[in-house]
């Protein structure tokens, strides 16, 4: 997939002196991350020539008028004759950026640009960073609805819970293009893929497993729902106050719904209580799980400690007790990285002009991702590397096929 990188602004990357950077801290400019980010990480390019007036009269006036008129008569043609069907808006309000929290739209832009170039690099999907100057859920929804004619899909990013759930739901109701909150569903898809392979490795099925999720934010909620959708035996979710269960009186709407559909075992109390005898730990919370709690899990357990940069259970500790260990870090095996999912999911959805991304399309993505590992499956290889070039084509094809099968494809 990875196309050759062209850097039209390579000159600008050399101005990494303290003076040019305008930074007060003298050590920052010499950090390679700052040098790399100078001038941004992306650009727009024309894909048609504009060498002379003949070119101009085709790509712009008067030639373009015929194309506009054709679309005005038959709106579906916008997918054929513009970049709409290959460009995704990466939309944030800057409220839940990485582990940094609510840092605002401007400060979130480097992440959104990063996301945009990952879309391009791994999925061949064009993407545009849109960091909004509002955190009001209805304003965000209205704004994205107004932007929608220009885009083939919307990737919501780093919007804090619980607003992210409402925003995604309302946008899905109002738009006929895919709307996908990657912090929820991308994470859930990759987690399911890894979990499916871990189960396979130990001769079990998802139905045999009881999982405990630490974190009831965007990722925790989505993973819980998605694992249930995929047929997991049981899953309980813990927030900072303990297991989300029906006896609690402090639950938000989202968590109350979670209490109804999760935790069939009816566990109450702390995360540690829930971990006793559990088959799977999934950490999307930060914080640290005490070693005795890890030790109390069932034999042959799986520990997916995905907080970055500090996993909830250090891999060295996890390996003492668990059969399979995964993290969010690139310097350990089994990295649960969203980039394994979102480029292919959008590429597949856009390829068939899907009106939405269904549960079936996400399940198909997870299965395709798990299948890439194939016969090489091992405890330190339950999920492919982000740089495995088989990943995006496999996910793209599976998602496109699932969209067709589920009747949400428009071609």
CB atoms under 10 Å from CB of 264, counted, come to 12
The region, left, alpha or beta by phi > 0 then psi within -120 to 50, assigned to residue 24 is alpha
Collapsing DSSP states into helix, strand and coil, what is residue 110? helix
Nearer to a second copy, 145 or 295 (CB): 145
Nearer to a second copy, 138 or 247 (CB): 138
Between CA 131 and CA 134 the distance in angstroms is 9
Give the shortest CB-362-to-a second copy separation in angstroms: 22
| Parallel/antiparallel/unpaired status of strands 242-243 and 234-239 | antiparallel
Give the shortest CB-281-to-a second copy separation in angstroms: 22
Nearer to a second copy, 65 or 378 (CB): 65
Give the shortest CB-371-to-a second copy separation in angstroms: 23
**Which residue in 41, 81, 115, 241 is the catalytic one?**
115
**Which residue in 13, 60, 241, 320 is the catalytic one?**
60
Between CA 280 and CA 302 the distance in angstroms is 5
Between CA 351 and CA 410 the distance in angstroms is 9
E-state strands within 279-361 = 280-283, 301-305, 322-327
Active site residue 170: no
Between CA 204 and CA 231 the distance in angstroms is 13
Give the shortest CB-27-to-a second copy separation in angstroms: 11
Between CA 14 and CA 9 the distance in angstroms is 10
Nearer to a second copy, 126 or 279 (CB): 126
Give the shortest CB-410-to-a second copy separation in angstroms: 11
Q: Give the chain's length.
A: 411
Active site residue 225: no
Nearer to a second copy, 2 or 261 (CB): 2
E-state strands within 262-392 = 280-283, 301-305, 322-327
Residues classed as catalytic: 60, 115
């Amino acid at each position: 997939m990875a196309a050759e990188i062209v850097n039209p602004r390579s000159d600008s990357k050399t101005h990494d002196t303290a003076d040019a950077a305008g930074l007060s801290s003298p050590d920052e400019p010499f950090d390679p991350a700052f040098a790399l980010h100078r001038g941004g990480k992306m650009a727009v390019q024309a894909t048609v020539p504009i060498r002379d007036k003949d070119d101009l009269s085709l790509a712009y006036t008067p030639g373009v008028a015929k194309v506009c008129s054709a679309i005005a008569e038959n709106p579906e043609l916008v997918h054929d004759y513009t970049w709409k069907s290959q460009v995704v808006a990466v939309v944030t309000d800057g409220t839940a950026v990485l582990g940094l929290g609510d840092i605002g739209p401007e400060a979130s832009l480097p992440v959104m640009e990063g996301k945009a170039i990952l879309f391009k690099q791994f999925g061949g999907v064009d993407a545009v960073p849109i960091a909004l100057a509002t955190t009001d859920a209805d304003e965000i929804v209205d704004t994205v609805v107004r932007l929608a004619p220009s885009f083939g899909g919307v990737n919501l990013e780093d919007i804090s819970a619980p607003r992210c759930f409402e925003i995604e739901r309302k946008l899905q109701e109002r738009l006929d293009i895919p709307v996908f909150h990657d912090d929820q569903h991308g994470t859930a898809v990759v987690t399911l893929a890894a979990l499916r392979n871990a189960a396979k490795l130990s001769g079990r099925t998802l139905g045999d497993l009881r999982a405990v999720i630490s974190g009831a934010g965007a990722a925790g909620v989505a993973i819980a729902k998605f694992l249930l959708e995929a047929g997991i035996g049981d899953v309980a979710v813990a927030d900072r106050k303990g297991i989300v269960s029906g006896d609690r009186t402090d639950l938000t709407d989202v968590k109350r719904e979670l209490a109804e559909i999760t935790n069939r075992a009816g566990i109450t109390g702390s995360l540690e209580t829930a971990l006793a005898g559990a088959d799977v730990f999934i950490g999307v919370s930060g914080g640290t799980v005490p070693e005795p709690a890890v030790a109390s899990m069932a034999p042959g357990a799986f520990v997916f400690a995905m907080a970055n940069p500090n996993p909830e259970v250090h891999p060295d500790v996890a390996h003492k007790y668990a059969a399979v260990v995964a993290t969010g870090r690139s310097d350990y095996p089994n990295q649960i990285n969203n980039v394994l999912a979102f480029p292919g999911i959008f590429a597949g959805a856009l390829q068939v002009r899907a009106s939405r991304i269904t549960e079936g399309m996400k399940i198909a993505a997870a299965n395709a991702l798990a299948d890439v590992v194939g016969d090489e499956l091992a405890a330190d290889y339950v999920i492919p590397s982000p740089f495995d070039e088989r990943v995006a084509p496999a996910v793209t094809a599976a998602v496109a096929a699932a969209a067709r099968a589920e009747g949400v494809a428009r071609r």
